Amino acid sequence: MTDMQILLKAARFSAAKHRDQRRKDGFASPYINHPICVAETLASIGGVDDPILLAAALLHDTIEDTGTQPGEIEAGFGAEVLSIVLEVTDDKSLPKAERKQLQIEHAPHKSEKAKLLKLADKICNVHDILHTPPASWPLERKREYLLWTEQVIAGLRGTHPALERSYDELLAEGRRILGV
């Protein structure tokens, strides 16, 4: 497959897997907008043109949030894409607080590609928390989320200056908006 074919196949696969999911914002936006945002952030801010990493970005929440089996990703996109997706996938059998703590602890030990993906994911999530937040989230939960992302990003520092700068700008904006 060509690079473009891999990316389009990943976009179609992810869209199908997330077809019934909505974001928690006030618009109930289609969930697929999030993986597309992550891939776009990697490409536009990060200058990433690696089809393996961009495909992983499009697929990064499928195992965690849709019941997709690892073998489906490996069969369709290869072992390297699967490896990156697995590195950023939370174990949903664990309590939420433990999953969040593990993200902080594991961030410095991820592969370079997983670190880039995690940076882009947090950039998109923080942007959404600030501009199209979950309708039911009170101010304190938004503040806690922002502070938690800062701890995760601390473990990713030194990976990509432009992505880190983008996150830092959002963090500063979030501190102003949320009064943190």
Residue 1: the pLDDT is 86
The CATH number assigned to the domain with range 3-178 reads 1.10.3210.10
**For residues 98 and 139, what is the distance between their CA atoms, to the nearest angstrom?**
22
Instruction: Indicate which residues carry an active-site annotation.
Output: 64-65
CB atoms closer than 10 angstroms to residue 150: 18
Identify the pLDDT of residue 14.
98
What DSSP character marks residue 25?
B
Nearest residue to 166 via CA among 59, 33, 37: 37
- Do 146 and 180 meet the contact criterion of CB atoms below 8 Å apart? yes
In the chain, where are the structural domains located?
Answer: 3-178
What was the pLDDT predicted at 179? 94
Count the alpha carbons within 13 Å of 169 in the hemisphere toward its beta carbon: 10
Digitized pLDDT (tens) for each residue of the chain, 180 residues in all: 899 999 999 999 999 999 999 999 989 999 999 999 999 999 999 999 999 999 999 999 999 999 899 999 999 999 999 999 999 999 999 999 999 999 999 999 999 999 999 999 999 999 999 999 999 999 999 999 999 999 999 999 999 999 999 999 999 999 999 999
pTM: 0.96
